């Protein structure tokens, strides 16, 4: 079929307008995804600079129909596209991993702000998911080694694959991941002995599993194990503090993403464990990241 780009974006926008506030920006994202895939366009500006006429392949039309049908059911665009951009890279995503969020960039940037790029460091991530955090940290610090834990086998596969894509062959020597059992965040001492880590970083599951508490934008198509801590709302913060007493060096750092509603409570947990704490706010001026230093 032959179509003018502006007619196509208007058609998409009208179809999803009833269910989505952001129909205009979504329609551009959908167009960009399809034109990148079927016409090899690389940048949004390559597509939207001039209002051109295109001859659309049948596969393009079929995929567009499929995306529109699924979008009306609120199925996330990122799972439909199978990727999401985060900081410097494109990451594969599927329904076994949380969709990377822009606010998690703050968490990674907090790590960057604490150590110069040439530092030789050893870090640990709790809850690897799609691998965005470990991957961006490994990419930024060429002399750094990362360990990561994950409870979901499917997520671990996606995370490792993404890290392999970003740091390539070095993965084998610079990155190690470990599957853990539910109820633990780190393998028992008999499986893995680690001491003197420089930092622990985590965007743990932290939402209360109650419809009134699930923030706007949280998709119920995402894995529950990535969203809701079954063991109790502050389980991960409690466990990370306790783990850091054992394996973090004195003066080491803990960086965690937090729910703004419970920031004071979580800050208190770190203060009581003798950490010094600073809190970073997100773009909506809500407490989002705790950076905590273990006292010497
Ligand atoms: C909020 S998601 C974060 C994923 C990714 N790091 C990110 O920032 O997008 C939390 C992750 O922790 C994992 N997880 C849940 N329970 C865990 C546990 N006990 N130990 C380690 N990881 C766990 C989930 O499977 C999920 O991948």
For the domain that residue 221 is a member of, what is the CATH number? 3.40.50.150
Distance CA 44, CA 49 (A): 8
Residue with tokens 């119920």: 220
Query: Using CA positions, which residue lies closest to atom 9 of ligand 1?
Result: 100
- The pLDDT of 6-25, averaged and rounded, is 86
125 and 51: one domain? Answer: no
List pLDDT tens digits, range 214-233: 765 567 799 999 999 999 99
108 and 47: one domain? Answer: no
198 and 107: one domain? Answer: yes
Across all residues in the chain, what is the average pLDDT?
Answer: 92
Using 50, 70 and 90 to split pLDDT, how confident is the model at 73? Answer: confident
178 and 225: one domain? Answer: yes
Q: What is the pTM of this model?
A: 0.94
127 and 65: one domain? Answer: no
pLDDT of residue 108 exceeding 80 = yes
Does 197 reside within a domain?
yes
The residues near 97 (Cβ < 8 Å, ≥ 6 apart) are 129, 130, 154, 155, 158, 159, 223, 226
24 and 146: one domain? Answer: no
Mark which of 13, 39, 74 sits at the end of a domain: 74
Task: State if residue 159 touches ligand 1 by the CB under 6 angstroms criterion.
Answer: no
243 lies in which domain range?
Answer: 96-294
122 and 240: one domain? Answer: yes
Query: 3-class DSSP state for residue 1?
Result: coil
The residues near 18 (Cβ < 8 Å, ≥ 6 apart) are none
Query: Using CA positions, which residue lies closest to atom 14 of ligand 1?
Result: 127
Using 50, 70 and 90 to split pLDDT, how confident is the model at 236? Answer: very high
The minimum-distance atom of ligand 1 relative to the CA of 231 is 19
pLDDT of residue 210 exceeding 80 = no
Using 50, 70 and 90 to split pLDDT, how confident is the model at 192? Answer: confident
List pLDDT tens digits, range 120-175: 999 999 999 999 999 999 999 999 999 999 999 999 999 999 999 999 877 778 99
pLDDT of residue 38 exceeding 70 = yes
Residue 190 confidence (pLDDT): 67
151 and 278: one domain? Answer: yes
Does 201 reside within a domain?
yes
**Which residue of 187, 226, 238 sits with most ligand 1 atoms within 8 Å of its CB, as the best mutation to test the pocket?**
226
Task: State if residue 78 touches ligand 1 by the CB under 6 angstroms criterion.
Answer: no
Using 50, 70 and 90 to split pLDDT, how confident is the model at 45? Answer: confident
Q: Which of the 8 DSSP states describes residue 206?
A: -
Task: State if residue 27 touches ligand 1 by the CB under 6 angstroms criterion.
Answer: no
pLDDT of residue 9 exceeding 70 = yes
24 and 169: one domain? Answer: no
Does 175 reside within a domain?
yes
What's the total number of domains in the chain? 2
For residue 135, give both structure tokens: 């991957």
Regarding predicted confidence, which is higher, 292 or 210?
Answer: 292
Q: Quick check: 153 and 185 in contact, CB under 8 A?
A: no
Task: State if residue 100 touches ligand 1 by the CB under 6 angstroms criterion.
Answer: yes
Q: Quick check: 86 and 105 in contact, CB under 8 A?
A: yes
What is the separation of C-alpha 63 from the centre of its chain, rounded to a whole number of angstroms? 26
Does 84 reside within a domain?
no
Distance CA 273, CA 86 (A): 33
Task: State if residue 185 touches ligand 1 by the CB under 6 angstroms criterion.
Answer: yes
Does 82 reside within a domain?
no
pLDDT of residue 48 exceeding 90 = no
List pLDDT tens digits, range 19-29: 677 888 899 99
Task: State if residue 126 touches ligand 1 by the CB under 6 angstroms criterion.
Answer: yes
Does 83 reside within a domain?
no
Does 81 reside within a domain?
no
Distances (CA, A) of 102 to 16, 39, 94: 23, 28, 17
Ligand 1 centroid to Cα of residue 3, in Å, is: 43
43 and 159: one domain? Answer: no
Task: State if residue 131 touches ligand 1 by the CB under 6 angstroms criterion.
Answer: no
Percent of the chain that is helix, strand, coil (3-state, to 5): 45, 20, 35
Residue 18 confidence (pLDDT): 72
101 and 70: one domain? Answer: no
List pLDDT tens digits, range 195-207: 899 999 999 999 9
Q: Which of the 8 DSSP states describes residue 16?
A: H
The minimum-distance atom of ligand 1 relative to the CA of 202 is 6
120 and 165: one domain? Answer: yes
Does 158 reside within a domain?
yes
Mark which of 74, 105, 136 sits at the end of a domain: 74
């Amino acid at each position: 079929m032959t179509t003018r780009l502006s007619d196509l974006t208007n058609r998409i926008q009208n179809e999803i307008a009833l269910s989505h506030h952001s129909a205009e920006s979504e329609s551009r994202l959908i167009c960009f995804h399809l034109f990148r895939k079927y016409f090899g366009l690389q940048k949004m500006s390559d597509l939207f600079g001039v209002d051109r006429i295109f001859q659309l392949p049948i596969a393009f039309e079929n995929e567009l129909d499929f995306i529109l049908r699924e979008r009306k059911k609120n199925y996330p665009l990122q799972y439909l596209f199978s990727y999401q951009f985060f900081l410097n890279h494109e990451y594969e995503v599927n329904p076994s991993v949380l969709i990377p969020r822009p606010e998690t960039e703050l968490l990674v940037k907090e790590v960057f702000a604490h150590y110069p790029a040439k530092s030789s460091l050893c870090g640990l991530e709790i809850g690897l998911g799609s691998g965005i955090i470990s991957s961006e940290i490994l990419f930024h610090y060429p002399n750094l080694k990362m360990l990561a834990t994950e409870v979901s086998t499917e997520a671990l596969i996606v995370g490792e694959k993404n890290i392999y894509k970003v740091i390539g062959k070095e993965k084998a020597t610079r990155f190690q991941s470990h599957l853990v059992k539910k109820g633990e965040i780190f393998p028992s001492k008999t499986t893995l002995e680690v001491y003197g880590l420089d930092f622990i970083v985590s965007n743990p599951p932290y939402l209360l599993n109650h419809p009134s508490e699930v923030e706007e934008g949280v998709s119920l198509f995402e894995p529950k194990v990535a969203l809701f801590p079954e063991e109790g709302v502050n389980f991960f913060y409690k466990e990370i503090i306790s783990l850091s007493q054992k394996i973090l060096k004195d003066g080491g750092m803990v960086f965690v993403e937090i729910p703004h509603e419970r920031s004071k409570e979580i800050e208190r947990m770190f203060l009581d464990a003798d950490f010094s704490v600073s809190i970073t706010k997100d773009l909506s001026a809500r407490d989002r990241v705790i950076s905590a230093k273990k006292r010497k």
